[in-house]
A = this chain, B = another copy of it.
Amino acid sequence: MLVVMNPGVTDNEINEVEKQLKGFGFSVHGPKGNNRRIFRISGESDVDTTIIEKTIPYVEKIVFPHYPFELASRDYQEEKTVFKVGDVEIGAQKTIIMAGPCAVEGRESYLRTAKAVKEAGAHILRGGAYKPRSSPYAFQGLEEEGLKIMAEAREMTGLPIITEVLDQYSVEIVAEYADILQVGTRNMQNFRLLKELGQLRKPVLLKRGMSATIEEWLMAAEYLLSEGNNKVILCERGIRTFETYTRNTLDISAVPVAKELSHLPVFVDPSHGTGLWRCVPPMSMAAIAAGADGLLIEVHPSPKEALCDGPQSLMPDKFAQLVNSLKKVAETVGRTL
């Protein structure tokens, strides 16, 4: 149960509300986060909740979410979450394209790709500096060197950068460079990492776990929100099924479902979602047509030589064509790009 206080409530007022709620016998959690307006209360108190609204000052409303993800739910916040990363507005009317290679492999090639994707119309640069690899013997990323190259690309292009944070050790260093921190599919239920990123207050893109239900995904977002970070982007990236032709099965229906259940912006990663570059354009079109707020697309200048995930990367010219097509689809669903 959530107790939402009036906008602009002061610290003293918050303390007073907390005291009264405890007086009624509730366990009280919060308020946390940027806006510091919500207490989550629980417990055996038999106080009628309408009493709370009537007798405790500074309380705007009591919310009973239908779902275990409370702060992430539309019950808690009807209007969509919108926030800015640099000049780029996430979750608003404009659909957003994040693009770049799977891994940062070298300075020159990354800067070249960054320039190309910017010219093609991308709004945010992606790139991996710390890579989760199923083999300990595979290329594991350039680490801080990669982050520095990305920062240089940001300076050159003016675009914000997104990169994956793999574990607690690298939270600080990644947060120093990145504008958005990406939580990968294998870390969706790395709860300690989520808590830290929740306290950090930098925007987080939370990929759906490859075998996570939509509810579990929203519960993972709740970990971020309950620590006070509400700059959260959900990203569908394909789930694991019996089908082997595609690398994963991109669950486009997760877009309308997540948007109905939650106020958070929902992105789609068609590159990991299919594992096949030829499927990236049609699935990007599908995602925008289904209402996605943005895309995460792998672009590589020479996919055959990529150290990671070449088969699913688009060449820059194909990407530029795709952006043009996406503009038209965005318009048919009442948005821009």
Name A's B-contacting residues (CB within 8 A). 29, 40, 42, 68, 70, 132-137, 166-169, 186-187, 189-193, 195, 210-211, 213-216, 219-220, 222-223, 226-227, 239-246, 249-257, 260, 273-274, 276, 278-279, 282-283, 285-291, 325, 328-329, 331-333
Residues of B within 8 A of A332 (CB): 285, 325, 328-329, 331-332
A333 touches B285 (CB 8 A): yes
A-B contact pairs, 15 of them (CB 8 A): A132-B191, A134-B220, A135-B219, A136-B219, A136-B223, A169-B192, A186-B190, A190-B190, A210-B211, A213-B245, A245-B257, A246-B257, A253-B279, A286-B287, A289-B289
Residues of B within 8 A of A190 (CB): 167, 186-187, 190
- Candidate in A166, A244, A276, A285 with the most chain B CB atoms within 10 angstroms: A285
Residues of B within 8 A of A42 (CB): 137
Residues of B within 8 A of A282 (CB): 253, 255-256, 289-291
- A134-B189, A136-B191, A241-B249 known; 6 new pairs, CB 8 Å cut-off, are A136-B223, A136-B226, A213-B243, A213-B244, A239-B243, A332-B332
Residues of B within 8 A of A291 (CB): 282
Q: Which residue of chain B has its CB nearest to the CB of A184?
A: B189
Known: A186-B189, A279-B253. A214 touches B329 (CB 8 A): no
Residues of B within 8 A of A226 (CB): 136-137
B260 touches A253 (CB 8 A): no
A211 touches B186 (CB 8 A): no
- Candidate in A68, A252, A288, A328 with the most chain B CB atoms within 10 angstroms: A252
Q: Which of B187, B211, B243, B286 contacts A289 (CB 8 A)?
A: B286
